[in-house]
Every structure is written in C-alpha cells, then in structure tokens.
Amino acid sequence: MDKKITIAIDGFSSTGKSTVARRLAKELEYIYVDTGAMYRAVTLYMMRKLFVSDGNFDKEAIVRHLPFISLHFEFDEELGYGHMFLNNENVEKEIRYMEVSQHVSKVSAVPEVRKMLVKQQQEMGKNRGVVMDGRDIGTVVFPDAELKLFMTASTEKRAQRRYDELKGRGDEVNFEQVLQNVKDRDYMDSTRDDSPLVMADDAIEFDNSEMGLDEQFDKIVKITKDKIKEVNS
C-alpha cells in the first residue's frame, strides 16, 4: 500500500482552494480539513458576542472567550464533505455570509486565535493522508508537507467568482463591494504579523485565472499522483 502524504494547499481568497482540496481528498480517499471554516466559525462566535462588528474590535474579549469555543467537522455522506460545527451547532451556512468574510481576516490575525487553531489542525493531520487548505498550511501548520500548492488568480477573477457564489445563494451584494472585500482580505492576510500569507519556498504556484474547475482539478490530480509515486519509489 502506498505511503500517504500530507498535501498543503495555500493561497489567496476565492481561488477555489476549498473546492479543489475537497475533490482531491475524495479522489485520494484522504481526510479533508477546511481551515478557513475554522477561522470563520471563530469569527461568527465573536460577532454573535458583539466583540467584532463594523467599528468595533475587542481583542481582549476575543482572547478571553477562546476557551469557550469547541469546533468539529461532521461528514455529510450526501455532499461528500464535512460541515463545520461551532459548540455543537451546524454553522456551515452562516460562516459563508458576506458579513463574516468582512471580519475573518482581522480575527485570524489575532495570535492567540492562530495558536489555538494551528494546534487543532496539526492534531487532525498528524497521521498524514490529509488535504488541508488555508493561508499558512505549508509554512506554519505543516512545513514538512510532501506536496505544497499555492493557488492564485487575478483579483478581478476572484471577485467575480465570489460574487457569483454569493448571488447564487441569494445574498444581496454588489460586485464593487465584493471586489473591495477581496482586496482588503489580500492586504490583511499578507501583512499580518503572525503567520502572514506567503508562498512556501518549496511550493508549486498554481495560477487558475484562466482555468475552469475541471481543468485545474485534472492538473492538480496529476501533480499529486506524481508526487505520491515519487514518495513511494
């Protein structure tokens, strides 16, 4: 039996990381961990407590309440991936709202938040055979991952994808609002002091600006299977 590997998929928002990672995990029969969902769930909790809102960011309260947060994924057989549960409540839908997107980068930049979630993520992937996507998987969570991909696309393409996704769900948004959110998140993710979004030195950069989902997935599957073959040779 082939030795299983750790696959780290990092990159900017709305590059399709989660979609590709989810499909890849299913193809390989690996565990999939959506780290972005974990940060979004923490953000949702803090928003509900009114520690985070437009014009308000209570870092001390955020840190103080971290011990009261419990996160886990529950696999949905029909959908083929895990739903995010916050304190035993399914919040998979709520964490994808635009309001959460507007605050998640700020919450993610809090060192104590990152420390807590990185520890959980490392525990989830300790036995390998995992596909994990996020912002710092290949640099911080699993710097020794056998395969690291860094996904990118033009700002406008990513904003259009996010806009289409939100409109498809029935959210009331406009393109300029989504574009600005993408730009703001890029800036905050790339300039934060703790674990900024950077491409690992040994990562493969993957620009999917002009690719459809199937095309990019086929290419990534080939890259992955070649790496698994190399590791097992």
Q: Is 35 assigned a ligand-binding role in the annotation?
A: no
- Other Cβ atoms within 10 Å of 6 Cβ, number: 22
Is 17 assigned a ligand-binding role in the annotation?
A: yes
Q: Has 13 been labeled as part of a binding site?
A: yes
Tokens of 146: 């056998």
So what's the pLDDT on residue 107? 97
Residue 14 marked as a ligand binder: yes
DSSP letter, residue 137: I
CB atoms under 10 Å from CB of 77, counted, come to 6
The annotation status of 18 as a binding-site residue, yes or no, is yes
What pLDDT score does 213 carry? 87
For the residues of 25-61, what is the DSSP string, one character each? HHHHT-EEEEHHHHHHHHHHHHHHTTSEETTEE-HHH
Per-residue pLDDT of 165-204, as tens digits, reads 889 988 888 999 999 999 999 999 999 888 899 999 999 9
pLDDT at 175: 95
Q: Which CATH number fits domain 6-222: 1.20.140.10, 3.30.310.80, 3.40.1160.10, 3.40.50.300?
A: 3.40.50.300
CA distances from residue 154 to 31, 32, 47, 50, 115 in whole angstroms, order as listed: 29, 26, 30, 34, 30
Residue 74 φ then ψ, to 5°: -120, 125
Mention every residue, 6+ apart, whose C-beta is less than 8 A from residue 220.
Answer: 20, 24, 149, 206
Q: What angle do CA 136, 142, 145 make, to 5 degrees?
A: 115
Please check if 11 is assigned to a binding site: yes
Confirm whether residue 195 is marked as ligand binding. Answer: no
Is the dihedral angle over the CA atoms 52, 54, 57, 61 positive or is it negative?
Answer: negative
Alpha-helical segments (H) within 85-212 = 98-108, 111-124, 155-168, 175-191
pLDDT at 169: 86
User: Which residue ranges of the chain lie beneath pLDDT 50?
Assistant: none
Q: Residue 12, annotated ligand binder?
A: yes
The pLDDT of residue 171 is: 85
